[in-house]
Chains A and B, each alone.
Chain A
Amino acid sequence: MKLALVNASPRGKKSNSGLLLKWLVRDLPADAEKTLVCAVKAEDQKAAIGQIAGCDALVIAFPLYTDAMPGITKKFFENMMESKKSFSGKPVLFIIHSGFPEAVQSRMAERYVRYFAGLMDMHPAECLIIGGTEAMRFAPEEAFGKRANALAALGKKFVAGQVLTESDLHMPGHREKFPRAVMGLFNVIAPLTDVFWNQLLKKNGAFKKRFDRPYQ
């Protein structure tokens, strides 16, 4: 099995997408053949697609940007379509992750990637949605042990060609949408979550400008 891993994050190698892919392949046999490519530069994408054209299965990971794939990821999809024959008939797993905690934010993007897989004649097509990934940049990997373990188990099943169940595709802490009561409570605690962003603003000497309107 030749597995292609596409890190389709604009942040490239140091992205959350990269970390999720690392966890996904963590428990694969040592002799499993893996090719990892990045899609971060439009001019390099066709060469990257050439590198993975001989794969048996693909995993494509990207963050949610303005309710869909990032622009550079869309460019990658457009370039992939030009090499449709290389991917036709192959299984694909999409990983869509987001800073938002709820999966509902990514469901329309999921609908798109499933449609895209159909246009590419790639099957079966699976999609994993993971919320709340932005915190992964600022905490040690050990803090996300359950998520890493669940991804590693999913990776093994995908590579083995096993059918992925709904429970495989729900990472620990998965929330489709929060109940009304929880969101009511969120109204009270939301300002506390500002601390994360305010710390970054202060570190950059930009806290006083946080509400600036430079184009008005």
Chain B
Amino acid sequence: MKITMINGAPAGEWVAYEKALERLKEKHDVDIFTVRDLNIQYCIGCFGCWVKTPGRCVHQDDMDAILKSVVSADLQLFLSPAADGFITADTKKVLDREIPLVLPYIRNFDGECHHPTRYGKQPDLGILLMDDGTLDDETKDITFSIFDRLAKNFHCRRMIKQAVTAETIAEVILNEARIG
């Protein structure tokens, strides 16, 4: 399985999770993008990726490599600790920069307005919240609910939502990959 993994954790305390991810590479084709080490600008809402250079952002940065990986992936997984009740700003900025994956047009999908996809099939989507023991139920529920909406907007077939520890993260992903 081809997996694109976006790691939006800050440096330091989450290193055990990151080491655990190395196990995945033995069984799957995994691209891991650690946002803090990359040059990725925030989306500025210019819609250039829709109306000036369709499919491409005006920012020329490391997001190119992520989008290239995503369009050929079977599964895109976001990995983030909770920061004030939601994913980190680093994780969110990658999500924002994925709007080139949809078209500007609006259509009716299941009774709501959504954008059609640019590439046809979208990879399955997942959010793994890193749980160091302080993750609360409300943060989990809000984050998972927002990702449910994202899965709708990005037309993803399957949505994975889990809280993970450094000990469970690799096994959770391997299990989900088996199901997928």
Contacts and interface: CB of A to CB of B under 8 A. Distances in A.
A6 B117 CA distance: 33
Interface stretch (B19-27, B42-50, B168-176): B42-50
B142 A213 contact: no
Contacts of A214: 54-56
Interface string B53-65: 1111000000010
Interface string A7-37: 0011100010000000000000000000000
Contact of B83 (A78, A201, A203, A206): A78
- For chain B, the bracket of interface size reads 35 or more
A78 B118 contact: no
A70 B54 contact: no
A65 B115 CA distance: 13
A209 to B, nearest CB: 5
Contacts of B50: 197, 200-201
A109 B153 CA distance: 14
A77 B54 contact: no
B2 interface: no
Chain A contact patch, size range: 35 or more
A192 B93 CA distance: 32
Contacts, number: 161
A68 B92 contact: yes
A178 interface: yes
A144 interface: no
Contacts of B71: 213, 215-216
10 contacts: A11-B46, A66-B92, A67-B149, A68-B146, A108-B145, A119-B84, A187-B108, A200-B47, A200-B50, A200-B51
Given A109-B146, A197-B50, 7 more contacts: A71-B93, A75-B89, A180-B111, A190-B108, A197-B105, A206-B51, A206-B52
Q: Which 6 A-B pairs have the closest CB atoms?
A: A71-B93, A75-B89, A71-B92, A200-B51, A74-B89, A67-B149
